[in-house]
């Protein structure tokens, strides 16, 4: 394994060793890599005898509810009066994406940013950013090993989850030989593969199924069927009684249609439209969403369009599709 960041790893180890209180956070709208890296780090620091808090200000997706220590997540508001020796931000490209937790970040004595977004703004005192890593969980495994700390079954479960979800279950272009070396090491910790796979990929509530069916009814193609768009409006969400995270997976379903290179999912929220994009083989969606102030990776990216500018969902669709056609 080729290891970079030797100096940074030394500093991180020294900061962890001297810290008593540590706060962990990630980006809003949590996913497997976000929760996996936070909860892996939580368990590691707990094993080292630290006082650790893990921030989560949003709803945990059903798929990740099985993760060890998921019940320890706290809202950042509860931590606003505590001054941490160390704040570690994982899987978050910039300070805006950290949401309300930014207040706690600013109070910390020392801040660390461990990430894999190419657009990362190096916003912390110590920045360890590897945009070649398909998941922060892969990078975090390397960092833990290099610091000489040991991995237990809970940590391995969390890291494997992030590795699996951020690679689309080991399918995306971003995977590399190291990904499988890390996966092998994690499997050797005796993790329950079946529990992980069933939770991540083989369960769907009736409400979530209804939401998927509703979204599929809105399917429209553009650009000679290379672009597929689906939408969910607030009425759909209410009628299906779906949870916020029940929209996870819809955009991937659309991407998988033969001939579709770009899938766009638009979900109406109170004052905005959330845009989720996925590409299959050649389109860089991180470039596409930049037009709208969003970000992400080459094959998966997102943005928010505010209703002040886009009064209805059709205008939002038109704006994103027009911008997308230019990218082809
Ligand atoms: P998703 O479509 O699953 O919400 O997000 C896909 C990827 O894009 C994730 O890596 C996520 O962090 C990133 N992403 C989604 N929305 C935004 C956004 O509004 N701004 C930035 N910078 N990244 C985003
Ligand atoms: Mn990630």
The pLDDT tens digits along the chain (328 residues) read 556 899 999 999 999 999 999 999 999 999 999 999 999 999 999 999 999 999 999 999 999 999 999 999 999 999 999 889 999 999 999 999 999 999 999 999 999 999 999 999 999 999 999 999 999 999 999 999 999 999 999 999 999 999 999 999 999 999 999 999 999 999 999 999 999 999 999 999 999 999 999 999 999 999 999 999 999 999 999 999 999 999 999 999 999 999 999 999 999 999 999 999 999 999 999 999 999 999 999 999 999 999 999 999 999 999 999 999 999 9
In this structure, what are the phi and psi dihedrals at residue 318, rounded to the nearest 5 degrees? -60, -45
Distance 19 CA to ligand 1 centre (A): 31
Residue 29 CA: nearest ligand 1 atom is: 4
Fold (topology level) of 206-327: Diaminopimelate Epimerase; Chain A, domain 1 (3.10.310)
Question: Which of 131, 232, 301 has the most ligand 1 atoms within 8 A of CB, as the residue to mutate?
Answer: 301
Instruction: Kindly list the distances between the CA atom of residue 321 and the CA atoms of 126, 128, 228, 291, in Å, as whole numbers in the listed order.
Output: 38, 35, 9, 12
Listed residue (38, 78, 31) closest to 59, CA to CA: 31
Question: For helices 153-166 and 136-146, what crossing angle results, to 10°?
Answer: 140
Check: pTM over 0.75? Answer yes or no: yes
Q: What CATH code would you report for 6-201?
A: 3.90.1640.10
Ligand nearest to the CA of 28: 1
Count of alpha carbons within 13 angstroms of residue 117, beta-carbon side = 28
Give the per-residue pLDDT at 273: 98
Q: Which residue has the tokens 């969390």?
A: 158
Separation of CA 5 and ligand 1 centre (Å) = 25
Q: Ligand 1 center to residue 296 CA distance, Å? A: 5
pLDDT of residue 112: 98
Residue 133: predicted pLDDT: 97
Lining ligand 1 with CB less than 6 A are 27, 29, 31, 93, 97, 276, 294-297, 300-304
Q: Do domains 6-201 and 206-327 have the same CATH topology?
A: no
DSSP 8-class letter at 253: H
Tokens 């505010």 locate to 306
**Whose CA is closest to atom 22 on ligand 1?**
295
Distance CA(108)–CA(97), nearest Å, equals: 18
Q: How many CB atoms lie within 10 A of CB 229?
A: 22
Evaluate the CA torsion angle 57, 62, 64, 69 in order and state its sign.
positive
Closest ligand to Cα 165:
2
CB 132 within 8 A of CB 43: no
Q: What is the pLDDT of residue 3?
A: 67
* pLDDT value of position 25: 98
Task: Detail the DSSP E strand segments found in 137-244.
Answer: 220-222, 227-232
Please count the residues of the chain: 328
Q: CB-based contacts of 224: which residues, under 8 Å, 6+ apart? A: none
Domain regions of the chain by residue span:
6-201, 206-327
């Amino acid at each position: 394994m080729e290891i970079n960041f030797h100096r940074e790893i030394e500093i991180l180890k020294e900061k962890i060793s001297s810290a008593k209180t540590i706060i962990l956070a990630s980006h809003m709208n949590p996913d497997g890599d976000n929760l996996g890296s936070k909860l892996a780090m939580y368990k590691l620091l707990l094993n080292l005898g630290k006082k650790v808090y893990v921030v989560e200000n949003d709803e945990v997706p059903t798929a990740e509810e099985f993760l060890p220590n998921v019940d320890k997540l706290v809202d950042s508001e509860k931590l606003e009066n505590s001054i941490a020796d160390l704040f570690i931000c994982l899987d978050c490209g910039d300070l805006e994406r950290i949401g309300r937790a930014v207040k706690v970040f600013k109070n910390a004595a020392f801040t660390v940013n461990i990430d894999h977004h190419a657009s990362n703004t190096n916003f912390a005192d110590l920045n360890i950013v590897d945009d070649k890593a398909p998941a922060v969980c892969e990078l975090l495994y390397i960092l833990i090993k290099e610091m000489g700390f040991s991995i237990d079954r809970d940590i391995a479960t969390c890291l494997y989850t992030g590795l699996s979800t951020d690679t689309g279950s080991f399918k995306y272009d971003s995977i590399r030989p190291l990904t499988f070396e890390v996966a092998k090491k994690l499997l050797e910790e005796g993790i329950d593969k079946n529990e992980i796979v069933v939770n991540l990929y083989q369960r769907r509530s009736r409400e979530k199924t209804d939401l998927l069916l509703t979204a599929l009814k809105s399917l429209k193609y553009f650009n000679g069927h290379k672009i597929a768009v689906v939408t969910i409006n607030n009425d759909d969400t209410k009628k299906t009684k779906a949870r916020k995270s029940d929209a996870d997976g819809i955009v991937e379903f659309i991407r998988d249609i033969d001939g579709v290179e770009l899938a766009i999912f638009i979900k109406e929220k109170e004052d905005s439209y959330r845009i989720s994009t996925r590409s299959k083989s050649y389109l860089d969606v991180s470039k596409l969403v930049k037009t709208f102030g969003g970000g992400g990776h080459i094959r998966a990216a997102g943005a928010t369009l505010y209703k002040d500018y886009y009064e209805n969902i059709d205008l939002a669709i038109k704006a994103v599709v027009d911008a997308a056609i230019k990218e082809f």
